[in-house]
Structure 1
Amino acid sequence: MNDSASPQEITTLVGREVYSNNGVFVGEVEDVRLDLDQEVVTGLALGRLNDELFRGRIARGKGVMIPYRWVRAVGDVILVNDTIERVKEGEEEEEGEVVA
């Protein structure tokens, strides 16, 4: 991500669609997790999840929290690395990173 970009309001993240680098829809941002001491976003709470990616792993109507370090770009949509797609295949890169 471009650190020289001007800071944006955190609330602008809410409602944005999240896609993997490969163009697969992941979900929609419902909330953000913050580290108030460091004043940084540490995670994104996603809802309206892609049924194909999360079927059988996340109960319908539930969401997931993904680490903000997975975010690659923020614009009209948010791009995350393709680690999220590996959840579908049962090959989570890091244990405990996707939380229901």
Structure 2
Amino acid sequence: MDGTPQEITTLVGREVYSNNGVFVGEIEDVQLDLDAESVTSLAVGELNNELFADTVSPGQGVLIPYRWVRAVGDIVLVNNTVERLREADDAEEAVA
């Protein structure tokens, strides 16, 4: 991106891929921190069933922390999502 501010709504509908080029899903919504005026997470649906079959029920989505985003263009590139989501689930269980 060229640094020009864009509407957050332009993210909705973009496809999300891992750094390895694997389709993750499609952005359905964004989660914001209004105080910091920043995006905190991407709500991703239309998930790749092969990646999420063991962790997410059909028809559900996932929240991907925006800090995992590596690039935003015609598509959105994120860190290797599957390992990251498993690490986050393990951390949440340890806290609970």
Q: Which residue of 2 aligns with 1:35?
A: 33
1:26 to 20, 24, 28: 24
**Pairs within 5 Å for 1:1-100:** 5-82=3-80, 84-86=81-83, 92-94=86-88, 95-96=91-92
Output the CA distance in 1 between the equivalents of 2:69 and 2:4. Answer: 17
* SS of match in other structure, 2:44: strand
Counterpart of 2:51 in structure 1: which amino acid?
A: L
Counterpart of 2:86 in structure 1: which amino acid?
A: E
* SS of match in other structure, 1:93: helix
* SS of match in other structure, 1:26: strand
How much has 1:7 moved relative to structure 2?
1.1
* SS of match in other structure, 1:11: helix
CA RMSD of aligned residues (A): 1.7
Output the CA distance in 2 between the equivalents of 1:27 and 1:12. Answer: 16
Output the CA distance in 2 between the equivalents of 1:23 and 1:42. Answer: 23
8 Å CA contact 1:26–1:49 kept in 2: the answer is yes
Output the CA distance in 1 between the equivalents of 2:82 and 2:87. Answer: 10
* Percent identity between the two aligned chains: 64
The TM-score with structure 1 as length reference comes to: 0.83
Greater helix share, 1 or 2?
2
Unaligned runs of 5+ in 1: none
8 Å CA contact 1:19–1:25 kept in 2: the answer is yes
In the alignment of these two chains, the number of paired residues is: 90
